[in-house]
Structure 1
Amino acid sequence: MEKRTNKRKWNWAQILAIFVLVTLVISMVYAIVNLITAPSGNVPEGQQTKGDYSLMLMQCVLGVVVLFLPSIISKKMKFVIPNAMYIVFIVFLYCAIYLGEVRSFYYLIPNWDTILHTFSGAMLGGLGFSIVSLLNNDERVTLSMSPVFVALFACSFAVFLGVFWEFYEFAADSFGMNMQKTMLEDGTMLQGHAAVADTMGDLFVDFLGAFVISIVGYFSIRKNKKWMKNFEFKKIDEDKAK
C-alpha cells in the first residue's frame, strides 16, 4: 500500500514574501531599539534622530500590512494573482522600504526615489490592466472597452494612486516625518520651489511610468500579445474548486 505524502509546493513568490517579511520584522525590532536610545533634537551630521527611526518603524509596519494585502483581497474576491505580478510587487516593497528607508538608499543612491516612483507608476498601470481583465472575465459584469479606453483607465488609475500616496506623505510629515524629503540628511530644511520639487517630480515620473506601460499595453491588446496573460488576474471557478 503506497503512502501518500502531501508535500507543500513552494514557489518563488512565497519564498520572496517570507524573506521580505523576516527582513521587515527584524528592521522593526532594530527601529524600536534605536527609537528608545536615539537622541532627539539637533544631532551631528549623518546621525539619525528619533524622527528617522519613527518613520522607519512606521514604514516597516505598513510594509508588513501591505505584504499580506494582496492575499487577503484575492481570497475575499475569489481571484488568483499571477506569480509574476506578485514578485514584481514584493521586489518593489523591498526596494522601497528596506533598501530605501532602513538602508538609507534614498540618501545614498542618487535618484533612488525617482527610480522607485517611475517603477511604481508602471506597476500600478499594469495593475489597472489586470483589473479591467478581471472585470471582463466576470459574468456578472457586462463590460466591453476599446484598447484606447483600457490604456487610459490604466494610466489614470496609476496616477490617481500616485496622488493618493503624496497625500499620505504630506499627512505623515505633519507628525514630524520626512517622507517628502523636504529636510536634507544634515537637517537643513528646503524652502520655496525646492521644497515642492520632490512632490512634483514624484508625480511626473509616476505619470511617465504609467504612460509608458499604458502605451505598451495598448499595442499588446491590439496585437493580442500572449505575454500579458502572465500579469492578468484569474477568476476562480467556484464549480471547479468544489
Structure 2
Amino acid sequence: MQKLMRKDRGNDLFELAMYVLAAVCFVYFLIKGPAPKMWQAVLIAVVLLLIRAVVKLTKTTMFAALRFCVLLFIFITMFMANEFGFYSVIPYLDKIEHLFSGVILCFVGLLIYGKASDIENKSVTPSAKVAIWLSLFFSVAMAGVWEIYEFTTDHWFGLNSQNGSLLDTMTDIICGTIGAVMTSFYLVIQAKRRKMPLLDE
C-alpha cells in the first residue's frame, strides 16, 4: 500500500488561498459592512482550523480527494453562497450543495472503514467491495440524518430550513444519494485500477 502521508501541495495552496480570501473579506466588510459578513469570514477561518485540529487529534490522514472535496464544499457553501450571496444568482445552488455533500460523505465513509479496519497496521485485510458499500450506505444514511436535523430545528426553533415542504426534503435526500452513487462508481473504477484511496497497493 502506498503511503498516505505525502505532501498535498495543490490542496495546501487551495487552503492558503481560502485563508487569504477570508482575510480580505474580513477587512472589506469591516470597512464597508454589513457586520455579519465580517464575522462570516472569521467563521470560515475557524472552520478550516477546526478541521485541521480534528485531523491532528484523531491522527487521521485525509487523502487528497476527500480534502479537496471538503475545501471546495466550504468554498461553495461559505464563500459563494453565504459571503457573496450566490443563492440568488445560481439556480438550485442548495441542491448542488446537497449533491456535493453526498460525494464528501461517501469519502468520509471510506475513511471510517479505513480507521475501523486499521488498514495502516494491516490488522485486517481490506476489502474494496465492503468499503464501497459501507461508504455508499453511510452517505445515504447521513443525508437522511441531516434532514431529520433540519426538521427538528425547524419544529423547535421556528426556522424554515426545509421550506415547510416534503418536496424540498426529499429532493435534498435524492441529491445527496445521487452524489453518493456517483462517488461509489468512481471508487469501483479506482478499485479495479488498484488506485482506490486507502486501499491502493
TM-score (norm 2): 0.72
1:86 corresponds to which of 67, 91, 94: 67
The range that moved more, 99-108 or 77-86, is: 77-86
The range that moved more, 202-211 or 108-117, is: 108-117
Hey, what's the Cα distance between the residues in 2 that align with 1:62 and 1:160?
27
2:102 corresponds to which of 97, 107, 121: 121
Hey, what's the Cα distance between the residues in 2 that align with 1:106 and 1:24?
19
Partner of 1:17: 15
- Contact 2:119 / 2:125 at 8 angstroms: preserved in 1? no
Change (3 A) 1:171 1:119: same
Partner of 2:179: 209
Query: What value does the CA root-mean-square deviation take over the aligned residues?
Result: 3.5
Partner of 1:225: 194
More helix by share: 2
Partner of 1:34: 34
Hey, what's the Cα distance between the residues in 1 that align with 2:133 and 2:107?
12
Change (3 A) 1:24 1:10: same
- Give, in angstroms, the shift of residue 75 of structure 1: 1.7
Alignment-mate amino acid for residue 212 of structure 1: M
Is residue 120 of structure 2 the alignment partner of residue 151 of structure 1?
A: no
> Between Structure 1 and Structure 2, whose CA radius of gyration is higher?
1
- Contact 1:159 / 1:210 at 8 angstroms: preserved in 2? yes
Q: Deviations over 1:94-133 (max 9, x none)?
A: 0111111222222211122212211220122122223323
Hey, what's the Cα distance between the residues in 2 that align with 1:10 and 1:129?
19
- Give, in angstroms, the shift of residue 213 of structure 1: 1.4
- Give, in angstroms, the shift of residue 161 of structure 1: 2.9
2:52 corresponds to which of 49, 71, 74: 71
Alignment-mate amino acid for residue 88 of structure 2: Y
Change (3 A) 1:179 1:205: same
Unaligned ranges ≥5, structure 1: 1-8, 36-52, 183-190, 235-242
Q: Whose RCO is larger (CA < 8 A, sep 6+)? A: 1
After superposition, residues 113-192 of structure 1 pair within 5 angstroms as: 113-134=94-115, 135-139=117-121, 142-144=123-125, 146-170=127-151, 173=154, 179-180=161-162, 182=163
Unaligned ranges ≥5, structure 2: 1-6
Hey, what's the Cα distance between the residues in 2 that align with 1:175 and 1:26?
34
- Contact 2:105 / 2:139 at 8 angstroms: preserved in 1? yes
Alignment-mate amino acid for residue 14 of structure 1: D
Alignment-mate amino acid for residue 18 of structure 2: V
Residue identity (%)? 26
Change (3 A) 1:170 1:13: same
- Give, in angstroms, the shift of residue 233 of structure 1: 9.4
